[in-house]
């Protein structure tokens, strides 16, 4: 599913956020930190990852470099190698306490939602290049609404399924 208006975007984000939290609320702190997938990622690591990508959208909408929002070096970001970017995010947050990860997750999401709230449909349909005109890429890039949706709703759903499968298999 994709969304084309703010009236569709906001409830879609809220529903995905709540669904993710229903899944998280089933887990203990030990499950969030100790259960790991084959790559060594825990639920805590996935939450730090989600936070970084959401923060990158916050920076994007503010016209700030996304690599700074992700907390990765510019060259890593410009490589467009998502595995390399995600590995850098993982390494950065590996030793961060779960309580801090959870707080940053909530705070970043709240800040992003507050930033989206005053935007109009016209704002949301402006291309990527409107917000980051100096970032290299092909053409004008996708509309902002797609960047937001992909890094919230779609990303939450993707990791919610991963979390559910991780807990079931352990």
pLDDT at 96: 96
Q: pLDDT (tens digit, 9 = 90+) per residue, 1-46?
A: 689 999 999 999 999 999 999 999 999 999 999 999 988 999 999 9
Query: Could you tell me the pTM of the whole model?
Result: 0.94
Q: pLDDT (tens digit, 9 = 90+) per residue, 45-70?
A: 999 999 999 999 999 999 999 999 99
Q: For residue 149, how far is the Cα from the chain centroid?
A: 10
Say if CB 56 and CB 50 are below 8 A apart. no
Mean confidence (pLDDT) of the chain: 94
Residue 132 has pLDDT above 90, yes or no: yes
| Residue extents of the structural domains in the chain | 42-169
Q: What angle do CA 159, 152, 88 make, to 5 degrees?
A: 65
pLDDT at 3: 94
């Amino acid at each position: 599913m994709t969304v084309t208006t703010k009236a569709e975007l906001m409830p879609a984000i809220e529903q995905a956020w709540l669904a993710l939290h229903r899944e998280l609320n089933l887990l203990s702190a030990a499950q969030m930190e100790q259960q790991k997938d084959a790559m060594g990622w825990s639920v805590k690591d996935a939450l730090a990852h989600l936070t970084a990508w959401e923060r990158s959208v916050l920076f994007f909408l503010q016209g700030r470099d996304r690599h700074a929002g992700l907390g990765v070096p510019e060259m890593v970001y410009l490589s467009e190698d998502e595995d390399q970017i995600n590995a850098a995010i993982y390494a950065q947050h590996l030793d961060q306490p779960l309580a801090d990860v959870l707080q940053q997750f909530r705070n970043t999401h709240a800040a992003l939602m507050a930033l989206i709230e005053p935007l109009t449909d016209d704002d949301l349909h402006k291309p990527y290049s409107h917000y980051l005109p100096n970032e290299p890429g092909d053409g004008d890039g996708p509309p902002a609404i797609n960047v937001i949706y992909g890094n919230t709703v779609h990303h939450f759903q993707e990791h919610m399924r991963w979390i559910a499968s991780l807990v079931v298999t352990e």
